[in-house]
Chain A
Amino acid sequence: GESVGLHLPTLSVQEGDNSIINCAYSNSASDYFIWYKQESGKGPQFIIDIRSNMDKRQGQRVTVLLNKTVKHLSLQIAATQPGDSAVYFCAETSGSRLTFGEGTQLTVNP
Chain B
Amino acid sequence: GAVVSQHPSWVICKSGTSVKIECRSLDFQATTMFWYRQFPKQSLMLMATSNEGSKATYEQGVEKDKFLINHASLTLSTLTVTSAHPEDSSFYICSAREAQKPLDTQYFGPGTRLTVL
Contacts and interface: CB of A to CB of B under 8 A. Distances in A.
A95 B97 CA distance: 12
Interface stretch (B68-76, B81-89, B106-114): B106-114
B93 interface: yes
Q: Which of A44, A46, A89 has the most CB of B within 10 A?
A: A44
Interface of A: 32, 34, 36, 41-46, 89, 93, 95-103
B104 A32 contact: yes
Q: Which applies to chain B's interface (DSSP): helix, strand, loop or mixed?
A: strand
Given A41-B111, A42-B110, A43-B93, A98 B43 contact: no
Interface residues of B, number: 22
Contacts, number: 46
Contact of A96 (B43, B104, B113): B104
Interface of B: 4, 6, 32, 34, 42-46, 49, 91, 93, 95, 97, 103-104, 106, 108-111, 113
Given A43-B111, A44-B93, A98-B34, A93 B104 contact: yes
Nearest to A101: B43
Contact of B97 (A36, A44, A96, A101): A96
Find the residue from A41, A93, A96 having the highest chain B CB count within 10 A.
A96
A61 to B, nearest CB: 21
Nearest to B6: A43
Contact of A95 (B6, B91, B104): B104
B110 A95 contact: no
